[in-house]
Amino acid sequence: VLDLARETGVSKSTVSRVLNGSPNVSPEARARVNEGVKRLDYRINLAARSLRTTKTALVGLLVPAINNEVFAEIAEQLDAELRKAGVMLAVTSSGWSPEGELSALDALESRGVDAIVVALADDRERRVAARLRLFDAPVVLLDREVSRLQAEAVLTDNRAGIVLCIEHLARLGHRAIGMSTSTDSTRPGRELVAAYRDSLSRLGLDTSEGLLVRSDTYTREAGWAAAKSLIDAGATAIIGCGPVAFIAGALDHLSDRGLDIPQDVSFVEYTDSELATVNRPRLSVILRPVGEIGRLAARLTLARMANERQPRRVEFVSTSFLDRESTAPPRPQSRKGTSASKDPA
């Protein structure tokens, strides 16, 4: 279609120069071309440009599931920032599978994306890590760490919120604090568990194994089962980490069992949600700045695209604890039970 634009009287070269905002063009030529663009409703062929420049103004977003509140929100913010810079987002869900990630990575690379933003289902996966190291565009990781990969990342301080939360619960008198989170497959899972264990021992709380349940299945049923095993283990307070479906399942269990929040058991959700404030009582939560994560990821991506060889950068966001109505002192009898189970330790 450049031929047509050439009909404005200048050469393809000049047209291309004004299209790319080169400073070396006479104002008249620029005006003629811009007018021609309007008149012919010219739309550049990005495939051709990409072929020449090897840049696509396309960035890939690879997440385990785009229909997850957290990833959807990240995608939204990422897209908003990126489109300001004229770059588009190619989104793909891996379905929590390394195979899905591998094939998505191939597809993204074939497409020549300028960068990828990725949240791995399991950042310890050898094959995926190896593939990522060979990926031919910058990668920015979302709260994941891949060994021997020099990548940008936006990391969340998952400790802060959990520590505040446990301190609060301990202050209320809880000694048997249960938590359900992901396995070590993911940085948040690791960090949450480390912070949980540190806090328990620092505060002298019950460290029974049963008070920690770990699973990478986030269905409603899994949430139900997690709550069950925590309660069975004697937990008087539960910290539930997972998407809303998972949390909903946990609440289901407490309700099925006739346990009232917070009288019978305290409950804290990791990451705020609509569900937290619609639930009665309103759920106390650990706040995580999800939108900010998306925005920072966009900024890192754009900076990296602008300058391939700048040193690797990492951005940090933190978490905090917001107490609403779902925590209270444990029931006296529960309390006794917990003390008893702690003594043997």
Partner DNA sequence: CTGAAAGCGCTTACAG
By CB under 7 A, is residue 14 in contact with DNA?
Answer: yes
By CB under 7 A, is residue 2 in contact with DNA?
Answer: yes
- Residue 2, contacted partner among DNA, a second copy, none, CB below 5-8 A by kind: DNA
By CB under 8 A, is residue 245 in contact with a second copy?
Answer: yes
**Closest to DNA by CB, 24 or 333:** 24
Q: Give the length of the chain.
A: 345
Expressed in angstroms, the distance from the first to the final Cα of the chain is: 77
- Distance CA(47)–CA(201), nearest Å, equals 58
Q: How far is the CB of 289 from a second copy (least distance, A)?
A: 14
- Distance CA(30)–CA(37), nearest Å, equals 11
Q: Which of 13, 255, 263, 339 binds DNA (CB under 7 A)?
A: 13
Provide the token pair at 183: 């396995």
**Coil/strand/helix, residue 240:** strand
Provide the token pair at 75: 């995608």
What are the two backbone dihedrals, phi and then psi, of residue 90, each rounded to the nearest 5 degrees?
A: -105, 115
By CB under 8 A, is residue 104 in contact with a second copy?
Answer: yes
Provide the token pair at 202: 């620092």
- Residue 233, contacted partner among DNA, a second copy, none, CB below 5-8 A by kind: none
By CB under 8 A, is residue 21 in contact with a second copy?
Answer: no
| Spatial contact of 218 and 242, defined as CB atoms under 8 Å apart | yes
By CB under 8 A, is residue 2 in contact with a second copy?
Answer: no
CB atoms under 10 Å from CB of 203, counted, come to: 16
By CB under 7 A, is residue 107 in contact with DNA?
Answer: no
Residue 102 CB-half CA count within 13 A: 10
DSSP string, 58-83: EEEEEES-TTSHHHHHHHHHHHHHHH
**Closest to DNA by CB, 2 or 172:** 2
String marking each residue 47-76 x if it binds a second copy according to CB under 8 A: xx-xx----x-x------xxxxx--xx-xx
- Apex 178 CA angle, 271 and 122, nearest 5: 55
309: Cβ contacts below 8 Å, ≥ 6 apart? none
By CB under 8 A, is residue 129 in contact with a second copy?
Answer: no
By CB under 8 A, is residue 46 in contact with a second copy?
Answer: yes
By CB under 8 A, is residue 216 in contact with a second copy?
Answer: no
Q: Which of 21, 27, 38, 278 binds a second copy (CB under 8 A)?
A: 278
By CB under 7 A, is residue 17 in contact with DNA?
Answer: yes
- Residue 10, contacted partner among DNA, a second copy, none, CB below 5-8 A by kind: DNA
**Closest to DNA by CB, 86 or 344:** 86
- Distance CA(216)–CA(315), nearest Å, equals 26
Choose among 158, 213, 169: nearest CA to 338.
169
Q: Which stretch binds DNA (CB under 7 A): 19-27, 120-128, 145-153, 277-285?
A: 19-27
Q: How far is the CB of 15 from DNA (least distance, A)?
A: 7
Using CB under 8 A, count the residues that bind a second copy: 53
By CB under 7 A, is residue 11 in contact with DNA?
Answer: yes
By CB under 7 A, is residue 10 in contact with DNA?
Answer: yes
Using CB under 7 A, count the residues that bind DNA: 26
Q: What is the dihedral of CA 24, 28, 31, 32, to 10 degrees?
A: -110
Residues 24-43 that bind DNA (CB under 7 A): 24-26, 28-29
With the C-alpha atoms ordered 171, 172, 176, 178, is the resulting torsion angle positive or negative? negative
**Closest to a second copy by CB, 76 or 167:** 76
User: What are the residues binding a second copy (CB under 8 A)?
Assistant: 43-48, 50-51, 56, 58, 65-69, 72-73, 75-76, 79-80, 83, 86, 88-93, 95, 103-104, 106-112, 220, 244-245, 247-248, 251-252, 255, 274-275, 277-280
